[in-house]
Amino acid sequence: MMHFCKISADEVWLNEQLYFSSSGKDVDWKKEIYRALGLTYPKFFKMDDLSKMTVLCFEILKTKLNLEGYEDDAISVLLGNQNSSLYTDQLFADSYQVKQQASPSLFVYTLPNITTGELAIKNKFYGENLFLIASSFEQMPFKNWVNKELNNYSKACLCGWVEKTKTQEECFLFFTDQLLTQVDINVLNKKYKDHGCI
């Protein structure tokens, strides 16, 4: 069983289906999705954009999953991107260089793995989590990592790619409880590209 979800400013794709199209009216497309999902999670509004996208993407992906059978540490999480928390890093640098007032609330988001932390808090995931910086989605070691987790440590894996730059915002997640083959990796690469927003 493998499910995918990809969210970006224009569209949300869940497996093969267009799940949501942005009206383009909202200043922040992520807030539009938040409202469309009927979420009540005030912490969302304090998050950086990497965390917001990841949390939303998984909320949508969850509509295809039955997580009740899993123990609280049975799902391992691997996320990656190319630019780490660079977008927030710049905001934090501006806070002390331009505004002369270093912002602690921005500083805590200047690490990419805060995203896996927010995901863990929202979903009460106590299991393994890892954040990698890679050149591209295709360079992520999804196959070796998922297979070593499922063979030894966990029952399922939630993996993906979440990127935020001045010109790019996207999150692609997949959930699997099966070992991955090279064929699966090819499918994943295609899924990611098909609904890519680059």
Partner 1 sequence: MDRMLSNKVFIRSGACISALGNSVDDAWLKLQSNTSGIELHAEKWEGRIKGLEGNRFNSLLDRILDSIKIHEAGILLQEDTQLIVSTTKANIEEMPENAFQSMKLKVQSVLGLSTEPIIVSNACISGIVAINLAADFIKMENCSKVIVLGIDVLSEFVSTGFKALFALSDSLCKPYDKHRKGINLGEAAAYVVLSNSVESISLSAEYLAGASSNDANHISGPSRTGEGLYRAIKKTLNRASLHADDIDFVQAHGTATLYNDEMESIAFNRLGLTETPSNSFKAYIGHTLGAAGIIETIFALKCLEENTLIKSLGYGEHGLSMPMRIVDQNKTSQLNTVIKSGSGFGGGNAALILKKKVEQQ
Find the farthest-apart pair of alpha carbons in the chain and give their distance in angstroms, rounded: 52
156-164 and 169-176 beta bridge pairing = antiparallel
Q: CA separation (Å) from 79 to 30, 94, 159, 172?
A: 19, 27, 5, 10
Cβ contacts of residue 108 below 8 Å, gap of 6+? 114
Indicate whether 29 belongs to the interface with partner 1 (CB under 8 A).
Answer: no
Binding mask 152-171 for partner 1 (x = CB under 8 A): xxxx----------------
| Position 127 contacts partner 1 (CB under 8 A) | yes
67 binds partner 1 (CB under 8 A): no
Please pick, from the candidates 111, 185, 187, 197, the single residue that binds partner 1 as defined by CB under 8 A: 111
Number of residues this chain uses to bind partner 1 (CB under 8 A)? 53
Q: How far apart (Å, rounded) are the C-alpha atoms in residues 186 and 178?
A: 15
Query: Per CB under 8 A, does 132 bind partner 1?
Result: yes
Contact residues toward partner 1 (CB under 8 A) are: 72-74, 82-84, 86, 89-90, 92-93, 96, 102-104, 107-118, 120-121, 123-135, 139, 141, 144-145, 147-148, 151-155
